[in-house]
Structure 1
Amino acid sequence: MSAFNGYGVWAIYRFEMARALRTWLQSIVTPVITTSLYFIVFGSAIGSRMSEVGGVDYGAFIVPGLIMLSLFTQSIFNASFGIYFPKFTGTIYEILSAPVSTLEIVTAYVGAAATKSIVLGLIILATASLFVPIQIQHPGWMITFLLLIATTFSLFGFIIGIWAKSFEQLNFIPMLLVTPLTFLGGAFYSIDMLPEPWRTISLFNPVVYLISGFRWSFYDTSDVAVGVSLAATLAFFFLCLGIVAWIFKTGYRLKS
């Protein structure tokens, strides 16, 4: 069994991180400004009419949802574009023929995408703290959910990047699936505020469990039990991991 090629992983990881620094305006500044506008609009327009949700100031209540919205979209974008671009240029064959294993390739690309998303999430958290006082009741769990969700959606983005045959397909799932599910997943409200049967229907939205668990780590309040949120996140993580393993085993859209 060959040793883990740390140098190869570091080379790919460093290249991906350098690409983000070259496009720092798009990678960091634009999402922060967009999220700040969400915060100002929702915090001011709705917050003036609804002061608290579950005993938490509305402005502070939406902060975990805003971070999750950014984490979902940026993790998918960074990972999908990171692996799609080598496919588009043909350099993917150089990577596949290099002395790096499947595990090392996935670790490098997903690790870089997750790192960029986590840094962006922390920047948004710092930005939000300028508007409202934020309390993190369970910092250890907050970091756990942040790492796990960023890694999971980076794996999901990696899958999309391999599946996509065009830039249009690259944006299809994030725009038409993930973003709507996030808005309907309690990012800006508690699903307990919904009348039946909409509350029950919302429980079939997997994003509800991710946002609920992350919000619990801040304010010790959630729409669903934190154990259920953690189990749902882990289930999605292992599902994505299994799909990635199948892709490299079969060569699906990598060797053709």
Structure 2
Amino acid sequence: MNFYAIRAIYHFEMSRAWRTLMQSIASPVISTSLYFIVFGAAIGSRMAEIDGVSYGAFIVPGLIMMTLMTQSISNASFGIFMPKYAGTIYEVLSAPISYVEIVIGYVGAAASKSVILGLLILLTSEFFVSFTIQHPFWMLFFLFLTSITFSLFGFVIGIWANGFEKLQIIPLLVVTPLAFLGGSFYSITMLPEIWQKIALINPVVYLISGFRWSFFGVADVHVGISIGMTLFFLAVCLALVGWIFKTGYRLKN
């Protein structure tokens, strides 16, 4: 394993985040704070508790998870797309490093930025609502696993996209709607029975449910199923990345 190569890619990607601190870190934190003000204070004051948890605290895991997913995809897709766009990807591919090391460098940096952002939002939420985390280990487990999984997904999108417009298609038209419909701001048990069954088709439901369980001990689906679905999506993303490098899809042409 060429750790020097991994470190070089990782440091380059992380330094780009620090150079664009307002866009990479400050903007998502400010946006999430606005969600707390609108949903937690304005709407939450008019809503009863959900599963024994105040509404302001109930939406904390959903907001963190929604930010993790969107930012992980954005960081990873942009990180690999720019070398493709500038033509410097060929220098990376011709270097004496393996595809595994390339993926670890790019995905590791994207996941690291998402984890830092998630922890910052967690700290920021303390200024708006009061809550305790019942299962800190599992909270960190879901935090890291989701960041890595969606960073891999973003890496695939960055390879697939052949223009800046395509970088935003899946995050805006697929991931964000699924996050809003996946129980970020409500429990799916509040829906009519038929819609509860339909909601279970949404994979984001399992991510948010498992993450919320780590906070409050309540979940829409069993936590074991949430972990299994997340690991399954991780395996699918790994398989796609492996296929891309094996075939050279949109890398060698």
What TM-score do you get using the length of structure 1 for normalisation? 0.98
Match of 1:222 in 2: 219
Question: What secondary structure sits across from 2:232 in the alignment?
Answer: helix
Question: Gaps (5+ residues) in structure 2?
Answer: none
CA shift at 1:48, angstroms?
1.6
> Using the alignment, how far apart are the partners of 2:194 and 2:73 within structure 1?
31
Amino acid at match of 1:145: F
Answering whether residue 120 of structure 2 is matched by residue 104 of structure 1, we say: no
Q: Does 1:201 align with 2:198?
A: yes
**Partner amino acid, structure 1, of 2:218:** T
The aligned residue for residue 71 of structure 2 is 74
How many angstroms does 1:196 deviate by? 2.3
Alpha-carbon RMSD across the aligned residues, in angstroms, is 0.5
- How far does the alpha carbon of each residue in 1:85-144 deviate from its partner, in whole angstroms, 9 at most, with x for none? 000000000000011101000000000000000000000000001111121100010111
Alignment of 1:92-171 (within 5 A): 92-171=89-168
Number of equivalent positions: 253
- Following the alignment from structure 1 to structure 2, what is the Cα–Cα distance between the partners of residues 134 and 15? 37
CA distance in 2, matches of 1:241, 1:55: 38
List structure 1 runs of 4+ shifted beyond 3 angstroms: none
Q: Which residue of 2 aligns with 1:21?
A: 18
One-letter identity of the residue aligned with 1:190: S
1:45 deviates by: 2.6
For 1:68 and 1:99, how far apart are their aligned partners in 2?
Answer: 37
Aligned partner letter, 2:14:
M
- The residue matched to 1:255 in structure 2 has which SS? coil
Answering whether residue 44 of structure 2 is matched by residue 64 of structure 1, we say no
Counterpart CA distance in 2 for 1:81 and 1:92 is 13
Matched, 1:47 2:50: no
1-side partners of 2:163 and 2:157: how far apart? 11
3-state SS of 1:222 partner? coil
1:34 aligns with 2:19: no
Q: Which segments of 5 or more consecutive residues in structure 1 lack a partner in the other structure? A: none
Q: Which amino acid aligns with 1:21?
A: W
Paired amino acid for 2:100: L
Task: Report the more deviating stretch, 129-138 or 165-174.
Answer: 129-138
Instruction: Give secondary structure in 1 for the equivalent of 2:45.
Output: coil
Deviations 1:126-169 (A, max 9, x none): 00011111211000101111110000000000000000000000
Matched, 1:180 2:177: yes
> Does residue 1:87 correspond to 2:67, yes or no?
no
Structure 2 SS opposite 1:159: helix
Shift of 1:46: 2.0
User: Does the residue aligned with 1:52 lie in a helix, a strand or coil?
Assistant: coil
| Fraction of identical pairs, as percent | 67
Q: Please point out which of 210, 213, 216 is paired with 1:213.
A: 210
**Could you tell me which amino acid in structure 2 is paired with residue 174 of structure 1?**
P
